[in-house]
Structure formats: C-alpha cells, structure tokens
Amino acid sequence: MKIDLRVPPCMPVQDVADFVKDCETAGFDGVGILDSQMLERDVFVSMAMAAQATSGIRIASAVLNPVTRHISVLGSAIKTVSETAPGRVEFWIGRGFSSVQTVGIAPASVRQMRRCVITLKNLLSGDTVEFGGANSRMRHGGTESPKIFIAAHGPRTIEVAGEVADGVLVQVGLDPGSLDLARNHLAIVAELSGRDPNDIEIILCATTIIMNDQKEAREVARPLCVQRLVETSHRPYLEAAGIFADHLDIPSELNDLYPDIPHAEDWDRAKQLCSFLPEDILIKMCDALGLIGTPEYCVERIKKAESDGINHLYLMTSESYQFPKRELEAFQTKIFPALGNN
C-alpha cells in the first residue's frame, strides 16, 4: 500500500523541503503540500524546493483550485514544477475553500472544476485553447504531462473525476459502506463517459491523528468530524457508514472560527464549540473517517483498509500551522515497522 502525508508549507520553504526529505527518509511514498495563500507559503515554490531536496518521493499539490489563479497561470506553473522532478509530481484540483473564503470568493463550482481539468490537459499537451475570444497555446506544452486529480468529497465532484480526471482523491473516509458507494458512483460515470474505471487512480483520504491515548486523539479530531456534518455533500457517505446526525443543532458560533473549522487557528476553541457532538457519534465518525487513535490501532485500521481493496492512502492530519511531526514519528518508529515496510 502507498501512504502519503499531508504537509502544510507553514514555515520558510527550505524548512518545508527539509521536512519533505524527512518524510522520504521515514518511508512515506508521497506528500501533499497545501495551497492556501493566506495561510501558507506558496505551493508551487514549496513543491519545487521539495523536489530538489528529494530523489524518489511523490509530491502533490493539496489542493489547487480554478478561481484564485487564471487557468493559464496554473498551466504554466504546473508545467514548470513538473520539470523539476519528472514523473514525481502530480496536481490535485479542488473547490478552494480556505483559499477562496479568506479573500471573499465563492468556492469553485463543479462546472469550473471540469473546465479547469479539461483546459489544463489541453494546455499541457500544447493544444490551442480559447480564452475570452483569444486563441492561445502554451509554448512549453506538448511533452509528457503530469497527472491531474480531482479532490472529491461529494457525488457531483466524484462524477466529474470519473469523466475527465486522471485520478481522484476520495474524501469519504474508510468505512466499507462509504467506499462502495463512492467507487460504484465513480465506475458508473466513467463507463458512461467511455472510460475504463480501472484507468482512474483512486487515493483514499484518511483523517489521521495519532496519539498514545485513543480518547485524546478523538477529542483532537472533534472539529474535523463536525466539519463533515456541516458540509451536506458528505451526508450520503456518512449514512452509508451508519452515521445519522440530522437531529443535531450546529452552533452558529462555528462561523466565527478563522479561517474555518478544519483550519481553525484556535483549535481549543474549535473543540469547545464542537462539544455538542455526542460521544457515541464522535466514536463512530472517528472510526469511519480514518486513522484516529494509537499507533497500534492505526496499524490494524491500515491492515483492514488493505483487505478492503484500498491500495493508496493520503493522511489528512489536523495540523495546518506546524509540521505533522507526531504522525511522522509514529509511522517511522512504530507503524511502518509493524506493517513490514522497513
């Protein structure tokens, strides 16, 4: 199984590159570097520096969006960074969320994401594209293109991924019921689009918080669980996992967290505001969403995921403003050895 780690470029870019090198040394197959211009350093510079500092680890943007940069700017940046480590970089496209909310722009629509992926592929292939009446082509396109993924957390984005993307980052958790629902949906749309579903690479996003105390890990994850309830696109996948929470009243004060719930600067305040989530639902959600608990628990969860046909995990930690050193250490010293990776 391939396992990638989320890395926020929250420090000077040389520090980011050094941490990615540490991830490579620890045994991770890849990293996803955040793109949120008001919260983190520039994703493209961070990716390029990380590529120069490493030799084998895959490096992905986690995730770009079609609205804070013109698609032509995205295309040129993607091509430029891909030249720093051919075959080792890939680019994930999403709706934006913290990137757009902090500057008063609406998240990208599904239509915008679809157009972005199609246009990027054309630009990277050296084809002529039309922008506002101007026919243009990227002079440095035309050679081997990096993979373009869509980060999908709802039925509509999964549909677009099945139609046009090289791969999909599926954000529905690890529960078998949720996974089957997402996989079946992806396969149906791919086949309707004349594609072989097996040609679409699937990466499963696993919320990951590793601590020596299971209960403490769940408490840290509480805001991330509540975020799944706030975003209604997650509902069918939660229900497929046997989680029903429509009866809960979501506190309006959650809207005051900066910049949002999953990236809250004041995590203690976020946990306090999310205390309304009943313990039984919290436990169910933590078990369904990923790797939340002790290293030993996470080893068993990974083995179970592999038996369920999962072959690629992306570890979405709670850290946005510091490197996930706790998770890196847990994998390097305990989890990878227990899985036989080292």
Collapsing DSSP to helix, strand or coil, 83 comes out as: coil
256-294: per-residue pLDDT in tens? 999 999 999 999 999 999 999 999 999 999 999 999 999
Geometric angle at alpha carbon 17, from 11 and 22, rounded to 5°: 105
Provide mean pLDDT across the span 194-217.
Answer: 97
**CA 177 to CA 175: how far, in whole Å?**
6
Could you name the CATH architecture of 2-212+294-339?
A: Alpha-Beta Barrel (3.20)
Q: Which residue has the tokens 């680019």?
A: 91
**CA 252 to CA 244: how far, in whole Å?**
20
Q: Which of 45, 34, 27 is nearest to 8 (CA)?
A: 34
> CA dist 300 to 83, 114, 220, 303, 332, Å?
38, 37, 20, 5, 16
Q: What residue spans define the domains of the chain?
A: 2-212+294-339
pLDDT category of residue 86 using cuts at 50, 70 and 90: very high
| Side-chain-side CA neighbours of residue 35 (13 Å) | 26
pLDDT at 142: 87
pLDDT category of residue 144 using cuts at 50, 70 and 90: confident
89-134: per-residue pLDDT in tens? 999 999 999 999 999 999 999 999 999 999 999 999 999 999 999 9
Provide the sign of the torsion angle of the four alpha carbons 80, 86, 89, 95, taken in this order.
positive
pLDDT category of residue 301 using cuts at 50, 70 and 90: very high
pLDDT at 294: 98
Instruction: Please determine, for residue 56, whether its predicted confidence score (pLDDT) is greater than 80.
Output: yes
Beta strands 89-93 and 312-316 are unpaired
- Segment (H or E) for 31: strand 30-33
**CA 214 to CA 275: how far, in whole Å?**
17
Collapsing DSSP to helix, strand or coil, 118 comes out as: helix
pLDDT at 53: 98
pLDDT at 342: 61
Omega of the bond leading into 103 within 30 degrees of 0 (cis): no
